[in-house]
Amino acid sequence: MTRVGVFGGTFDPVHVGHLAIANAALEDLPLDRVIFVPARHSPLKNDGPVASARDRLAMLEASIAGEPRFAVSSIELDREGPSYTVETLAALRPEGELFLILGSDAFADFARWKEPERIRGLATVVVAARPHSPGVPKDIRSLDAPLLDISSRELRARAARGRSLRYLVVEAALRYITRHQLYR
């Protein structure tokens, strides 16, 4: 059976930390492929994405070009309303054995997600620990990922101050951000 990582988030913007986590999942679990799933709107976040769905999708596609084991799904962008992981996993179940990839910052709120126990039944939950975040419980798989202590929020603020995102996002995403004047 195909082993598929499902890596969701706003990806606003996608950065090298996201790609490092996905690559570690490919190698460490191991997985056959990773599907990036940009969220329309997270029900647990008060503020929505800054960049449009179309822009975030384009940045993701540009960032993963050249890695055949990475794919992007617009399943949550195509649905109306908030993005619920449980619905996404149920829809992706025919793809194979699912592994839900989370950063430990996202996992900290996992108990508040819609149907967390059903999520655990649909996919193996895998957590990539971020610096300065709580530990991962023993019953949750942990990823040994080379993590950078950066976040999309910090990158947006950096860009708004006119600071460079070079080496923090993939060159193709940087060109897209510059061309479309995002995060200014």
pLDDT single digits (tens) 159-177: 999 999 998 999 999 999 9
**Domain segments of the chain: what residues?**
3-179
Cβ atoms < 10 Å from Cβ of 42 = 21
Lowest mean pLDDT among 131-140, 153-162, 167-176: 131-140
Mean pLDDT, residues 133-148 = 67
Position 69 scores a pLDDT of 98
Beta carbons of 86 and 113 less than 8 angstroms apart: yes
Integer CA distances (angstroms), 59 to 41, 97, 133, 171, in order: 17, 27, 27, 10
Lowest mean pLDDT among 37-41, 76-80, 136-140: 136-140
Integer CA distances (angstroms), 135 to 21, 67, 105, 129, 152, in order: 17, 31, 10, 7, 22
The DSSP symbol for 43 reads T
SS percent in the chain: helix, strand, coil, step 5: 40, 20, 40
49's CB contacts (< 8 A; 6+ apart) are 10, 12, 39, 41, 56
Query: Strands, E, within the chain: which ranges?
Result: 3-9, 33-38, 70-72, 97-103, 123-128, 141-143
In 3D, which of 165, 8, 175, 174 has the Cα closest to residue 91? 8
pTM of the model: 0.89
Task: Give the position of tokens 């996404």.
Answer: 88
> What CATH architecture applies to the domain 3-179?
3-Layer(aba) Sandwich (3.40)
> At how many degrees (to 10) do helices 171-179 and 53-64 cross?
150
At 60 the three-state DSSP class reads helix
